[in-house]
């Protein structure tokens, strides 16, 4: 899964925007940076910022935390997703890679909004929100439109069937 033309990033943004809307955090001045990369790219970031020298599926860097939280109040944070890990996880879970990308986008955005899974209680709450958001997104026409758009772009540039 490549993102040379931005079709994967657009799919991720659908998940981010749905999460922000459902969580009541979508506003004209809210910004989220998105980086779609490979395992090597996310491994480097994981090593630098988490001290873990291994690829992961998604990283979220909240910008409204810490001493500089007021520096750029419209910037919620950055989301980084490895398409290679997303593809492997989709294969393992038996669903389309687009669904995995949506799950990772929602998961990361919840982190940006302050959710975490450091303990069982927080993890249960985050998982419940994630499940509810994904269900709402898939029940709407929005997700199908995002997936169809991504597949059409892939077909036009020669990456699809």
Specify the CATH number for the domain of residue 27: 3.40.390.30
Average pLDDT, the chain: 86
Count the domains in the chain: 1
Residue 161 lies in a domain: no
Exposed e or buried b for every residue in 90-120, given b needs 16+ CB within 10 A? beeeeeebbbbbbbbbbbbbbbbbebebeee
pTM for this entry? 0.85
Residue 2 lies in a domain: no
Residue 115 lies in a domain: yes
Range 29-46 average pLDDT: 94
Q: Residue 23 CB: number of other CB atoms within 10 A?
A: 17
Residue 159 lies in a domain: no
Give the model confidence (pLDDT) of 118-150 as tens digits: 888 999 999 999 999 999 988 888 887 887 766
Residue 96 lies in a domain: yes
Residue 140 lies in a domain: yes
Task: Look up residue 86 and give its two tokens.
Answer: 């997303």
How many whole angstroms separate alpha carbon 76 and alpha carbon 90?
27
């Amino acid at each position: 899964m490549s993102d040379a033309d931005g079709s994967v990033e657009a799919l991720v943004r659908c998940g981010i925007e749905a999460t922000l809307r459902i969580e009541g955090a979508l506003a004209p001045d809210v910004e989220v940076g998105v980086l779609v990369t490979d395992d090597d790219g996310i491994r480097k970031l994981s090593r630098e910022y988490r001290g873990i020298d291994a690829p992961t599926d998604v990283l979220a860097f909240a910008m409204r935390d810490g001493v500089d939280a007021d520096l750029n109040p419209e910037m919620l944070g950055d989301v980084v997703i490895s398409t290679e890990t997303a593809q492997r996880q989709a294969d393992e879970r038996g669903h389309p890679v687009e669904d995995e990308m949506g799950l990772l986008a929602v998961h990361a955005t919840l982190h940006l909004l302050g959710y975490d899974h450091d303990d069982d209680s927080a993890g249960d709450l985050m998982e419940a929100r994630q499940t509810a958001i994904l269900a709402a997104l898939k029940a709407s026409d929005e997700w199908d439109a995002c997936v169809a758009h991504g597949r059409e772009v892939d077909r036009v540039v020669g990456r699809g069937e």
